[in-house]
Structure 1
Amino acid sequence: MGKNQGNFAETKIGGGSNENSDQRNLKEGKGKRLWKKMKYQLVEYHSLPGYLKDNEYILGHYRSEWPLKHIFLSIFTIHNETLNVWTHLIGFFLFLSLTIYTAMKIPNVVDLPTLQHLPDVLKKADLHKLHGELLTCLPSLPHMPDLQRFREELKTSLPSMDLLSSPSNWHIVELLTNCLPERFSHSNHTDVCVLHSMKEDMANMIAPLLLRPITRWPFFAFLGGAMFCLLASSTCHLLSCHSERLSYIMLRLDYAGIAALISTSFYPPVYYSFMCYPFFCNLYLGFITILGIGTILVSLLPTFQTPEYRNIRASLFFGMGVSGAAPILHKLILFWHQPEALHTTGYELLMGAFYGIGALVYATRIPERWMPGKFDIAGHSHQLFHVLVVAGAYTHYRAGLVYLRWRDLQGC
C-alpha cells in the first residue's frame, strides 16, 4: 500500500513537472514571437545605428536592420521611406512608358502638323535631287510616259501641290505610293488626324524624300539615364535599412544614377544643337561625360555619404547642372532667329529651375527643420526633391521632342 502511494506521489510530482515545462515552453514561444514582432517595428531616430542617421529632423518611423523579406513587404506599408520609394518608382514606370511610346509612336519623319509648312520647304528644296530620288524606283513601273509628264508638271506645280487636284494624276499617286518604302506608309504615323485629301496624301509621301530623320540615340540615352536614376533611387530607399554593407552599395548606386541623369540630360540639347558643328558637339559631349564619370568616382569614397558632406554632395550635382549654361547660351547665339531654339531654351530653363529648387530643398532640409517630427511620413525635403526631379526630367523630355521635330524638318 505504501509503495503504491509512493508511486502515485512520484507520478503526480512528475506530471506537475511536465506541466510546468510545457507552460515554460509556451511562455518562451510567445516571448520569442512577441520579441520578433517588436524587433521589426518602426523605431525612432536615437535608436538607429550610425550609418542610418542622416536627417535629425525626421524623428520617427524608421526601419532598422530588417531582413530582406520584411523589407520587400514594407513597400506596401507606411514608414518614413514609403513616399521616397514610390515617388521615384512611379517616375521610373512613367519614363519606361515614354521610352516605349517614343520608340513605337514618334514617327521617323515630321508629323502631320509640320507638313502644313511643306510648300515653304519645297520652295527651298533641290527639285532635281527630289526628281532623281523619285525616279530611282519608277523606271520599272508602267505608264512611264505619264510619269515623264508628271515630272515636268512637278517642276512648276510641286510647291503649291496644285497638280494633285487633277483626277488624271491619281493613278500616278498610286504608283508613287507603291514605290515608296514601307516605313513611310500611313501605319507608321501616329497622329490622330486622318489624311482626307489627295494633297495631304501626296505631301505625306514626298516629305520623307526631302526630310531625312536624324539619329535618335542621344534622346534614348537621356531616357535610359532617367530610368536608371529613378530606379536606383527607389531601390536605395527601399533596401538601405538592411545592413551597413548593403546601405553602402545602395548609396553608391544612387549617386551614380544622379550623375547619369545629369550627364545624359546634356546629350539631346548638345547633339541636336551642334550636330552641324562637330567640334563643339564633341567638345561639350566629352566634357559632360568626363564630368559625370568623375562625379561617380568621387561618390565611391566612403566619406562622401556621411551627413556632414550633404551640402558638398548637393553642390557637386548642382555644379554639373549649371555647367549646361554654356552650350545653351552658345545655342542661342547661333540660332537666335530660330523659334525652336527659344522654345527648347524655355523648357531647359524650367528644367533647371526644378532641379535647382530640388537641390536647395535637399540641402537645407526644408520644411522638416522648421517643425521636427511633423513631416516624418509625408512632406519632408527628400520627398519634395524626388517630385521635382521627376518634373524636371519630364520637362526635358518635352524639350527633346521639339529638338527631334526641328532637326527632322530642317537638318543642318
Structure 2
Amino acid sequence: MGRRMGEKQHQKHDPGRGTGRDSTKRGRRGSASSEVGKSRRKETTAEHFGHISTKKELESSPSRSVLRLYTIDEVPSYLCDNASILTGYRMNYTTEMCVRSVFALHNETFNIWTHLFGFVVFVVVITFFFVGVLVPSLFHHQVSSNGVQSASQLSRDSLSEYRWPTLIVFAALAFGALTCMLCSATFHTLIPHECPTVYRWAHVLDYFGITFMVVGSFLPMCYMCFACTPSLKWGYMGMIFFFGIGGILGPCFRSWTDPSYMRFKIAFYVCMVGSGLIPITHIYLILPLNISTAVVEGLLLMMVLYGVGVVVYVFQVPEVFYPGRFDIYLSSHQLWHIFVLAAALVHFFNCAAMYVNMHSLPLNC
C-alpha cells in the first residue's frame, strides 16, 4: 500500500509524464489550430482568387472571363507610348480575350474599328470598280452607263497593250489598301497578347501594311501619268520600290519596334509618303492644265490629309492638352486612323477617275 501510495505520489509529481501528456495535448491543439488556419487561408484565397485546381477551371476562372482594364501605371512601357492616355489599357490577354475585346470598350476600340470599317468599305468600293468598270472595259471593251465610255474610247490595240499592266497596278493599289486596313486592325486587336512574340509580329504586320499601301498608291499614278515617258515612269516607280524595300526589311529588326526609334520611323514614313510630291509636281508641269488640274487636286488633297494626320499623331493632339479626357474617344491615334482612311479613299477614287478619263491622259503616245 505504501508502495502504491508512493507510486501514486510519484505519478502525480512526475514532471516527465505530465509534460508529455501536456505537450501531446498542446501538439494536438497546435495541429488543429494549424489546420484551421490553413483552412481559413484557403477560404480567403478562394474568395479572393477563386478556386483553381485544373486547366479547365483556370480557363473558366473569373480572371480569364472578365476583360480587365488597367491604368498607365500598371502596364509595361511598350503598351503606353502616349503619356496622355491614362486609362483603358489591356494587358496579358489570351487570343480569345483579344478577340472578345474587339467588341468591348477600351482605349484601342476605335483604333480597331476605324480600320475594320475601312476594310469593309474598300472591299465594297474595289469590288464595284473592278467588276463594274475595270474588267469589263479592259477585257470586253464594253461601253456602259457608269463612266466607262471614256476608257473605252481607246482602241482595241491600245487596250491590248495596256490591259495587263493596268490591271496589275490597280490590283497593287487594291491590295495595299486592304492589307493596310486589315493589318492595322489586327495589330490593335493583339496589342495586349500575353505572348511577346505574337505582339511583335502583329506590330511587324502593321508596318508591312503601311508600306504596301504607300507603294500600291504610287503605281497607278506613275503608270498612267508618265506612260509616254518610260524613263520617268520607271524612275519614280523605282524610287518608291526603294522605300518599299526599307519598309519591309526594317520591321524585321527588333529595334524597329522599339519606342526609342519612334522619331526615326516617323521620319522614314514621312519621307516615303512625301516623296510623292516630286511626281505630283512633275505631273502638273507635263500635262495640259485642263487635264492636270483635277488629277493634281486629288493628289494634293490626299497629301494634305496624310500631312494633317501626321501632325495630329506626332504632337498627340488633343489629349496632350487634356490628359485622361480622350482615353476612349477621339485620341490622336484614332484621328490619325480616320485621316489615313480618308486619304486612301480620296486617292482610290482619284485613280479610278484617271482610268475612266484615260483618253485624256497620254497613253496613246
Alignment TM class, shorter chain as reference: 0.7 to 0.9
Partner of 2:191: 240
How far 1:24 sits from its partner (Å)? 5.5
Residue 347 of structure 1, CA deviation: 0.4
Give the corresponding residue for 2:109.
Answer: 82
Relative to 1, partners in 2 of residues 1:277 and 1:88: Cα closer, same or farther, differing over 3 Å?
same
The total of aligned residue pairs comes to 313
The whole-number CA distance in structure 2 between the counterparts of 1:315 and 1:282 is 25
Check the 8 A contact 1:109/1:211 in 2, yes or no. Answer: no
* Counterpart residue number, 2:68: 41
Determine what percentage of the aligned residue pairs are the same residue.
29
The aligned runs of 1:6-405 (5 Å cut-off) are: 28=46, 31-32=49-50, 36=63, 40-106=67-133, 183-184=140-141, 189-191=144-146, 207=153, 209=155, 212-213=158-159, 214=162, 215-242=166-193, 243-337=195-289, 339-405=290-356
* Cα drift, residue 89 of structure 1: 0.7
CA distance in 2, matches of 1:356, 1:300: 26
Q: 1:100 to 1:39 in 2, by over 3 A?
A: closer
Deviation of the 1:349 alpha carbon: 0.3
Task: Kindly state the Cα deviation for residue 105 of structure 1 after the two structures are TM-superposed.
Answer: 0.5
**CA distance in structure 1 between the aligned counterparts of 2:353 and 2:291, rounded to whole angstroms:** 7
**Equivalent in the alignment of 1:4:** none
Offset at residue 216 of structure 1 (A) = 2.6
Q: Are the counterparts in 2 of residues 80 and 377 from structure 1 also a CA contact under 8 Å? A: yes
- Give the CA RMSD over aligned residues: 3.2
What is the letter of the counterpart of residue 236 of structure 2? Y
TM-score scaled by length of structure 2:
0.77
Q: Aligned letter for 1:85?
A: I
Q: Is the 8 A contact 2:154 2:359 kept in 1?
A: no
| Cα drift, residue 53 of structure 1 | 2.6
8 Å CA contact 2:214, 2:273 repeated in 1: yes
Distance 1:73 1:276, change over 3 A: same
Following superposition, the deviation at residue 307 of structure 1 comes to 2.6
Contact 2:153–2:359 (CA under 8 A) maintained in structure 1: no
Equivalent pair of 1:265/1:396 in contact (CA under 8 Å): yes
Separation in 2, partners of 1:310, 1:70: 28
Where 1:36 maps in the other structure, the secondary structure is helix
1:272-295 CA distance string (max 9 Å, x none): 011121111111111111111113
Aligned mates of 2:214, 2:285 — CA distance in 1: 23
AA aligned to 2:77 is: G
Instruction: Give me the whole-angstrom Cα distance separating, in 2, the residues matched to 1:312 and 1:50.
Output: 19
Amino acid at match of 1:183: H
Deviations 1:87-130 (A, max 9, x none): 0011011111111111111155779xxxxxxxxxxxxxxxxxxx
Whether the aligned pair in 1 keeps the contact of 2:147 and 2:356 (CA below 8 Å) is: no
Q: Name the structure 2 match of 1:179.
A: none
Cα deviation, residue 30, structure 1:
7.0
CA distance in 2, matches of 1:273, 1:185: 23
Write the distance in 1 (CA, Å) between the matches of 2:343 and 2:77: 33
After TM superposition, the score normalised by the length of structure 1 is 0.69
Q: Distance in 2 between matches of 1:22 and 1:47?
A: 30
Gaps of 5+ in 1: 1-16, 112-181, 194-202
Stretches of structure 2 lacking an aligned partner (at least 5 in a row): 1-34, 52-60
Q: Which amino acid aligns with 1:226?
A: A
